[in-house]
Amino acid sequence: MKRIFILAAACLVAASASAQSIYTQDKNNVDMLRPTASHEVLRSEFVLPQVNGYKVLKSDLHAHTIYSDGNVTPEYRVREAWVDGLDVLAITEHIEYRPSEGKMISYLKGFFPGEPNKPNGNILTDLNVSNNLAIAAAAGYGITLIPGAEITRDQNKIGHYNALFVKDVNTIYDPDPAVSMKKAREQGALIMHNHPGWIRKNVDIIEFEEKVYGEGLIDGIEIMNGSEFYPPIVTRAFEKNFFMAANTDIHGTTTMDYVQQGHRRNMTFILAKDNSLESIKEALKARRTLAYSFGTLAGEEQLIKDFFMACVKFETFKVDANGKRTMRMINNTSMNFVLRFGGNPVELRPFTSRNVSVAKDAELSFTVENLWIPGEGKEAKHPVIKLKF
């Protein structure tokens, strides 16, 4: 009898183990139902539709780790990206600024008593380590990792530029930042102009930017970086034909900088055929991106309208005797939209619908106030959606 009991208990344990942490055991070997007692991480999905036949990949093209001045490892950065619902992550360490490195080297000196020059003489920093660790980690999560590097010079005179899709970070540095960019491009990299307004008085184009823009060295630009948003850059990106990006430039954790405050992290939406490096690069070259940050979305006018119309469906459910049509506007996505039909703005929140009416043969017209498109001069503006049913 005792034997049978033990066998039954063993079966129970096996069953609970296969139920993946739903049950835990106390020290008396009693199973307790504790569904929340798990360290398994869950992914927060950000649901978006296909747009113009393309997948909308959620990416962050700017992130740091301990291998430059970030606080976490590349492996943590990848896991965090997965948890945040990203499909694509670029690791972009500062090439010229690596504060942890110096601390480690002076520590190593102590290991070779009597031979003070040996460690320094033998140490050659490998600037590809961070990308390589992240690539290996990303494979375990199905995330596409773009190897990158940040060319980091005086922000007021030169600026910061991310080289994306690099092959060897060790060979990019040159005292002349434009030469650094050219070296990166020779590896097949795309260059993104980072945080153009950060710590500057304004976002006017400076001499160096004029030069590298003119030489065709720039492919993309950050409209948003962290909590900063530069509306005039929406128009500049359109005029110069740069892809528009919204990135975190995360150094700490997205939990502290975004999630704890109730926000999603910044994302560059990339409209790509699939999540291969090749397709992502093709999409960036074709400028099929939208910049998402703190509920605000920026992009080229037609693309952002196509995105809106893919997110929001209109279903007529009543036409009265006068031909007045009443429709349900359905938003089955994670996007929030702020609509203005003339009066006060109203929200079309994620996974909700609202009803709208339009008179016979009239146009339904409204602006989407959390979307930004290129305007005149330095101004950005909101798109106007006009629909005829």
- State the Cα torsion 333-249-217-203 to the nearest 10°: 90
* Stretch binding Zn ion (CB under 5 A), from 159-167, 281-289, 318-326, 345-353: 159-167
User: Considering beta carbons, is residue 159 or 374 the nearer one to Zn ion?
Assistant: 159
Q: What does the alpha-carbon distance between residue 237 and residue 220 come to, in Å, rounded to a whole number?
A: 7
Question: Minimum distance between the CB of residue 195 and Zn ion, rounded to whole angstroms?
Answer: 6
**N- to C-terminal Cα separation, the chain:** 76
User: Considering beta carbons, is residue 197 or 231 the nearer one to Zn ion?
Assistant: 197
* Stretch binding Zn ion (CB under 5 A), from 183-191, 248-256, 290-298, 323-331: 248-256
CB neighbour class for 166 (10 Å; exposed up to 12, middle 13-18, buried from 19): buried
* Stretch binding Zn ion (CB under 5 A), from 143-151, 264-272, 292-300, 362-370: 143-151
| 77 is an interface residue for Zn ion by CB under 5 A | no
Q: Is the dihedral of CA 143, 41, 268, 154 positive or negative?
A: negative
Q: Which amino acid is located at 14 in the chain? A: A
Question: Minimum distance between the CB of residue 27 and Zn ion, rounded to whole angstroms?
Answer: 49
Residues numbered 2-31 forming contacts with Zn ion, rule: CB under 5 A? none
* Stretch binding Zn ion (CB under 5 A), from 113-121, 133-141, 173-181, 189-197: 189-197
Vertex 216 angle, CA 213 and 221, to 5°:
55
User: Considering beta carbons, is residue 150 or 219 the nearer one to Zn ion?
Assistant: 150
* Stretch binding Zn ion (CB under 5 A), from 23-31, 148-156, 183-191, 338-346: 148-156
Interhelix angle 74-83/129-139, rounded to 10 degrees, is: 40
* Stretch binding Zn ion (CB under 5 A), from 16-24, 155-163, 262-270, 305-313: 155-163
Question: Minimum distance between the CB of residue 160 and Zn ion, rounded to whole angstroms?
Answer: 3
Proportion of the chain in helix, strand, coil states, percent, rounded to 5: 30, 30, 40
Q: What does the alpha-carbon distance between residue 217 and residue 193 come to, in Å, rounded to a whole number?
A: 10
Q: Of 257, 254, 287, which Cα lies nearest the Cα of 270?
A: 287
Residues numbered 192-211 forming contacts with Zn ion, rule: CB under 5 A? 194
Q: For residue 247, what are the contacts with CB-CB under 8 A and spacing of at least 6?
A: 60, 61, 62, 63, 194, 222, 224, 225, 266, 268
DSSP 205: P
Q: Is the dihedral of CA 370, 373, 377, 378 positive or negative?
A: positive
Q: What does the alpha-carbon distance between residue 110 and residue 116 come to, in Å, rounded to a whole number?
A: 8
Question: Minimum distance between the CB of residue 217 and Zn ion, rounded to whole angstroms?
Answer: 17
| 305 is an interface residue for Zn ion by CB under 5 A | no
| 160 is an interface residue for Zn ion by CB under 5 A | yes
Question: Minimum distance between the CB of residue 54 and Zn ion, rounded to whole angstroms?
Answer: 28
Q: Which amino acid is located at 195 in the chain? A: H
* Stretch binding Zn ion (CB under 5 A), from 12-20, 81-89, 206-214, 249-257: 249-257
User: Considering beta carbons, is residue 160 or 193 the nearer one to Zn ion?
Assistant: 160
CB neighbour class for 76 (10 Å; exposed up to 12, middle 13-18, buried from 19): middle
Question: Minimum distance between the CB of residue 24 and Zn ion, rounded to whole angstroms?
Answer: 42
Task: Check if the beta carbon of residue 94 is closer than 8 Å to that of residue 64.
Answer: yes
| 249 is an interface residue for Zn ion by CB under 5 A | yes
User: Considering beta carbons, is residue 194 or 296 the nearer one to Zn ion?
Assistant: 194
User: Considering beta carbons, is residue 159 or 232 the nearer one to Zn ion?
Assistant: 159
With contacts defined by CB under 5 A, how many residues of the chain interact with Zn ion?
4
Which residue in the shown chain puts its C-beta closest to Zn ion? 160
Convert residues 98-137 into a mask of x (bound to Zn ion by CB under 5 A) and - (unbound).
Answer: ----------------------------------------
Question: Minimum distance between the CB of residue 214 and Zn ion, rounded to whole angstroms?
Answer: 22
User: Considering beta carbons, is residue 128 or 247 the nearer one to Zn ion?
Assistant: 247
At 302 the three-state DSSP class reads: helix
Question: Minimum distance between the CB of residue 158 and Zn ion, rounded to whole angstroms?
Answer: 11
* Radius of gyration for the chain, computed over Cα atoms and rounded to the nearest angstrom: 26
The footprint of Zn ion (CB under 5 A) covers 150, 160, 194, 249
